[in-house]
Structure 1
Amino acid sequence: MSQYEVATLKKGLMILDALLIEESMTLSELMRKFSLNKSTTFRLLYTLELMGYVEKEDQSYSVTDKVAGRANPYNAKLSWLSVSPLYQLSSEIGETVYIGILDGTDIVTTQVVDGTHSVRSHTQVGERSPAHLSALGKVILAFLGEQGRGKVINQLKLTQKTENTFVDPHLLKEHLKVIREQGYAVDDEETEIGLRCIAAPILLKDESIAAVALSGPAVRLKKNMDRSLSKRLIQCSEGISKML
């Protein structure tokens, strides 16, 4: 070991690295992985939990959103695999198409292909908003595992942007059930009056890791078009899912 290394800090960072990769591990699993004794492992986990970097649920530990760089391991692959399908979809329908991922309780836009209309939806890579406000967020939540979905909803601050925004957690949960059954979500002027959005999940092992969406003015993206546009979106999202 280098004279400049801090052994205890190094062990704590090793534990964080392992939890980022495995998503959750028990104390016993971490002991075996790093050949640490129970007392040392417990003290490291207790300190990380006290500082807000790790949380315990039942007997398993996982990292919190405080850990910088926490990201789905498929995000990088998703970024380049989705380029061609997004351009194809945007060229076919003429609307802005984009991809978003869940980061804590927010949706972050990771890919954008602008539509061809002079009046169109504008969004940028890196933009974020609470998950309940958008079709992207709602469809990702709907296709998360029950435990993960409940955790996000419990942490969400259900702020109201328009009169159509879901701010009742019970109504939101029922709405997510409908989304899961139909396979897509609609933002019906819930984020901004005059703007509608439709989204479909990108799945890995039957759980959402991202979503693809299209948006545009409500006068152009009318409700009677939802079904036909959602079919095209689902085809796009399923294609990306298969490539992953």
Structure 2
Amino acid sequence: MSLLDVDHIDAYYGESHILRDLSMTVEEGEICTLLGRNGAGKTTTLRSIAGADPPTVRSGSVQFKDQDITGMEADDVAMQGISLVPEERRVFPNLTVAENLKIAEVSRNASNTWRRPRTSTGQSMSTEQVYEDFPRLSERKTQKAGTLSGGEQQMLAIARALKQSTDLLLLDEPYEGLAPKIVEDVEAAIERINDQGVTILLVEQNAAAAIKIADRAYVVDQGAVVFDGTADELRDDDETRERYLGV
């Protein structure tokens, strides 16, 4: 069985039917990308996996490491080893880089103390590792997060997620609003994280950039999967890219 198996889920916001019989898998150690136009259901898929409310999954299942996590609360999903970096980064703007990272560490330790033990096999990243993998953050450790560039804030959001014990990292639009050169820096950081053993599910509007670093790709349209294959196959499939991605 795959690391993550999403099996025929239907997800709703209230009575609005967003995901329709959606199935996908993510294999351990890979970078898998989920692509589609705005409103196609990409973010809803990540939120359904992560246990965010909304949406509500009314049918189907989400299996992670052979365990059914369907309907599990977000905190409990995180304890299994899934970390979500949402859109818009959501760092603490009035705290320094170092303080943002410290909060993630305190949160992890509190969860281990007061909630049931983590089942994640992933290793939480030490602050020293963070600064090694994200040297820009090391240079700005005493700077308030709200004064960082968009790319630096994105790196901080990713690093903060990795302070948890993470087996699967969910990234929602990490390139949004970034200049091409900064996108390359974030791409390199994602590849370094993957090389260290963290599996990645990447949702991205910038299809060309996502395909460049992904092993496999899914394309969704109106809440349903319309393409499932390798990144190379999608790169060569002009009809699918033009029809569903506009590239």
> Which is bigger in relative contact order (C-alpha 8 A, separation at least 6)?
2
- TM-score where L is the length of structure 2: 0.29
Which structure has the larger Rg? 1
Higher helix share: 1
